Structure 1
Amino acid sequence: MSKHGNVILVGPMGAGKSTIGRQLAQALSYEFVDSDHEIEARTGADIPWIFDVEGEEGFRRREETVIDELTQRDGIVLATGGGAITREANRRAISARGIVVYLKTSIEQQLARTAKDRKRPLLQHAEPRKVLTELMKTREPLYLEVADHVVDTDASNIKDVALTISDLVTQAI
């Protein structure tokens, strides 16, 4: 399979991976897949429940399996979870099996976009700004490591970001 068969979106929670991914898939006539939703569909449980019962490590094992399987498909836009890049196996699969776009966003935007979302296990038991800042410190180098393109989502609307990515992907094919 060609590296250009898929578009894989990485970035922190609240960057817009799922929302932009749907628009992008439509623009490219690709199928949209969200790895977190796929995990929920396969387990019959939501992400917070999986975190509560299996811990983050259990969730990450499930996520690794799903990402490996999904990235072997062709012609998809894949929205990954914000922490998917913390596993080396995921970084290898993502890098080898698609054009990777890092959706970059500020901590302020992340806070605004996730403020009312109760399905973010890592934000439920702590000070969100501190958690997001710490996650960004450890994860941003990994996002940059796998990224073929970096697109800022702070000042743009969803359709504009999707069109920008669509243009980048079309030029790369």
Structure 2
Amino acid sequence: MTAAPSPAIDRPVVLVGLMGAGKTTVGRRLAQKLAIPFVDADEEIEVAAGLSISEIFARFGEPYFRDGERRVIARLIDGSPKVIATGGGAFMNELTRQLILDRATAVWLEADIDTLVDRVRRRSTRPLLKDRDPREVLTELAAVRNPIYALAPIHVRSQPSPHDATVRAILKALAG
């Protein structure tokens, strides 16, 4: 079986979804398949601020973080083809969401709660999970955020199986 040719990408592809959906891991692999750059918005925010995401939340609060996140994403969406992984809350900000929808191709990586919980337990750096039960937090976030993520024109299920299956599904959706 031969692989389908990669679609031509003429603008940024922005991955949105809850924490643990695989935006960074899938994004790296997708960019590699498309032979375009990959950028993790959270990493760019940390570089710009000189602080970790957790430190920004602790020192300045979520509204301050979201404002910086919007500015960084606006800088990243410069029209050139690339894959951008966003933080789980980025698409919730109306200005950030409109920027992404207007100037990029948004892809919602949707995953079931069990998959998300399994993935987020592997990292202790998520501010919204600090001292809380991941299943409870993710269930609450999904109820609020999934209807907004659904505004992305492309929806792909992030499977608990190897990320390459998700990458192939995105490539197929991008090819139209």
| TM-score normalised over the length of structure 1 | 0.92
Verify: 1:160 aligned to 2:165, yes or no. yes
**8 Å Cα contact 1:101-1:149 kept in structure 2:** yes
What secondary structure does 2:67 align onto? helix
1:98, 1:125 → 2: CA distance?
A: 35
Query: Contact 2:159–2:165 at 8 Å: present in 1 too?
Result: no
The answer to whether the 8 Å contact 1:23/1:159 transfers is yes
Distance in 1 between residues matched to 2:171 and 2:135, nearest whole Å: 32
* Aligned counterpart for 1:51 among listed residues 36, 53, 57: 57
Q: What's the offset of the Cα at 1:7? A: 0.8
What is the RMSD of the two structures over their aligned residues, measured on CA atoms?
1.4
- State the Cα distance separating 1:155 from its structure 2 match: 4.1
Unaligned runs of 5+ in 2: 1-8
State the partner residue of 1:150.
155
Counterpart code for 1:164? A
| Superposition misfits of 4+ residues, deviation over 6 angstroms | none
List alignment gaps of at least 5 residues for structure 1.
Answer: none
**Structure 2 counterpart of 1:19, from 25, 34, 37:** 25
Hey, what's the Cα distance between the residues in 2 that align with 1:155 and 1:39?
28
The match for 2:77 is: 71
Match of 2:117 in 1: 111
Amino acid at match of 1:136: A
> Percent identity, aligned pairs only?
40
1:129 partnered with 2:135: yes
Which residue of 85, 89, 92 maps to 1:83? 89
User: Which is helix-richer, 1 or 2?
Assistant: 1
Q: Report the residue type matching 1:158 in the other structure.
A: H
Letter in 1 for 2:124: R
Q: Contact 1:27–1:163 at 8 Å: present in 2 too?
A: no
Amino acid at match of 2:56: I
1:167–1:59 distance in 2 versus 1, CA, 3 Å: same
Q: Give the conservation status (yes or no) of the 8 Å contact 1:47–1:121.
A: yes
